[in-house]
Amino acid sequence: MKRMMLRTDIPLTRRAVIHGGVALAGSVAIGRAFPWIETGVDASGWTDAPQQPALSPAEQLNARRAELAKAPIVVTSLGGSLSLLSGPGGNVLVSNGPDGKVVVDTFVLPAWTSLTKALAGLGSQPVKAVVDTHWHFDHADNNAGFRGLGAQIIAHTNTKTRLSQSHDVLGMHFDPAPPAALPTVLFASTHKLDANGEPFELGYIQPAHTDTDVYVRCLKTNVLHLGDTYFNGGYPFIDWTTGGTIGGMIAAAARSLTLSDAQTKIIPGHGPLADRQTLTAYHEMLITVRDAVQKLKKDGRTLEQAIAAKPTAAFDAAWGKGFVQPDFFVTIVYNTL
Ligand SMILES: [Zn+2]
């Protein structure tokens, strides 16, 4: 008689957690930084998902890509040759004109077709240059596609380094990017280019959201793209696995204020178009939360106790409804102080 093996006993090796609507499996990287996730201490607002087979870290990445790609692209004119494209990934800035297109950030891989369609809608000029504000997939995922169209890819030196490594972040696994997806023009401090009558200034930001962050400043039209050093309307994610810290985020916001005036259109990595006033509120929120968590830590509170003290309570209604929820933000701040 043929022996039937019923696989009803496949263990769930990791607890799936739902966070901000995103299913995340506690990866080795998360476990290392946040051991309470793997040990099941739920002091945090990370809630247990219904029992379901956990996705592998590679599957998590593709699931996240597919989820982000569902967002339609919304185009907003910023004046001059500039447009903001929002939707499937981090915010994209485009300059279109006779010199060709300059594109800052690239959305996620499955949004390639809709992105190229949206770019074509701005005019028939080819993409001349792409800027990666940092190494994360929801900003740099389409580097290879743009290289295939003949564009140069401009980024900080560390972006090439980080893209060339394997990483585990938020339960997602990243293999080293293939050579064809790497930046082609690297800088360490600043980089300038001119296109369509617009002088662009690119500048390295000391480690903040990652250690690869750059800002892009359009000096004529007065637009500033801050990448993920600025989340508008939600607590920011800070990637502790590649050099991000709360102190760096605060320093980045303070420096960004010096790069802007009352008229500057400020593009956050995620969230709606902003200005100096909203950036100031974000900067003050970061400082207040940092100070509160720092005091708890200095007083000897454990992470769980710091979370229970709810140091973000006054900000949660305004900032706590995004991808990074209050308890997770306290965790990031506590662990990167
Ligand atoms: Zn990012």
In tens, the pLDDT along 176-206 reads 999 999 999 999 999 999 999 999 999 999 9
pLDDT at 142: 98
Give the confidence band of 49 by pLDDT, cuts at 50, 70, 90.
Answer: very low
Q: How far is the CA of 292 from the centre of ligand 1 (A)?
A: 25
Q: What is the pLDDT of residue 119?
A: 98
Confidence of residue 53 (pLDDT cuts 50, 70, 90): low
Residue 325's SS3 state is: coil
State in Å: Cα 67 to ligand 1 middle: 16
3-state secondary structure of 327: helix
Say how far apart CA 282 and CA 141 lie, in whole Å.
27
Three-state secondary structure call for residue 310: coil
Does residue 166 have a pLDDT over 90?
A: yes
DSSP letters of 46-73? -EEPPS-PPPPHHHHHHHHHHHHHTSPP
**Residue pair 88/108 in contact by the 8 Å Cβ criterion:** yes
For residue 267, the CA-to-ligand 1 centroid distance in Å is 14
Question: Using CA atoms in the order 99, 260, 213, 314, what is the torsion angle rounded to 10 degrees?
Answer: -140
Instruction: Calculate how far, in angstroms, residue 228's C-alpha sits from the geometric centre of ligand 1.
Output: 5
Instruction: Report CA(209)–ligand 1 centroid distance (Å).
Output: 7
Q: Which residues contact 4 (CB under 8 A, 6 or more apart)?
A: none
Q: How far is the CA of 186 from the centre of ligand 1 (A)?
A: 19
Is the CB of residue 209 less than 8 Å from the CB of residue 86? no
> Using alpha carbons only, how large is the chain's radius of gyration in Å?
21
> How much distance in Å is there from the Cα of 238 to the middle of ligand 1?
8
- pLDDT confidence bin for 41, thresholds 50/70/90: very low
Ligand 1 geometric centre to CA of 143 (Å)? 15
Query: Using CA atoms in the order 227, 228, 233, 235, what is the torsion angle rounded to 10 degrees?
Result: -170
Query: pTM of the entire structure?
Result: 0.85
The pLDDT tens digits of the residues spanning 105-114 come to: 999 999 999 9
134 alpha carbon – ligand 1 mean position (Å): 7
Dist. CA 296 → ligand 1 center (Å): 27
The whole-angstrom distance between residue 319's C-alpha and the CA centroid of its chain comes to: 16
Distance 126 CA to ligand 1 centre (A): 27
132 Cα–ligand 1 center, Å: 11
Q: What is the pLDDT of residue 323?
A: 87
- The per-residue pLDDT of the chain, averaged, comes to 87
Tokens of 318: 């305004």
Report phi then psi at 227, rounded to 5: 55, -150
Question: Nearest-CA neighbor of 89 among 77, 113, 72?
Answer: 72
Question: What single-letter amino acid sits at 65?
Answer: R
Inter-CA distances, 165 with 7, 159, 178, 265, 316, Å:
36, 10, 10, 34, 35
179 Cβ contact list (under 8 Å, min separation 6): none
Higher pLDDT, 5 or 321: 321
CA of 6 to the centre of ligand 1 (A): 42
The tokens for 84 are 């903001």
Compute the distance between CA of residue 27 and CA of residue 137 in angstroms, rounded to an integer: 17
Centroid of chain to Cα 329 = 14
CA of 2 to the centre of ligand 1 (A): 53
d(CA 213, CA 93): 16
pLDDT of residue 32 exceeding 90, the answer is: no
CA of 227 to the centre of ligand 1 (A): 7
Residue 46 clears pLDDT 80, i.e. is over it:
no
Whether 24 shows a pLDDT value over 90: the answer reads: no
For ligand 1, the distance from its centroid to the CA atom of residue 48, given in whole angstroms, is: 25
pLDDT band at 52 (very low <50, low <70, confident <90, very high): low
Rounded to the nearest angstrom, the distance between the alpha carbon of 225 and the centre of ligand 1 is 13
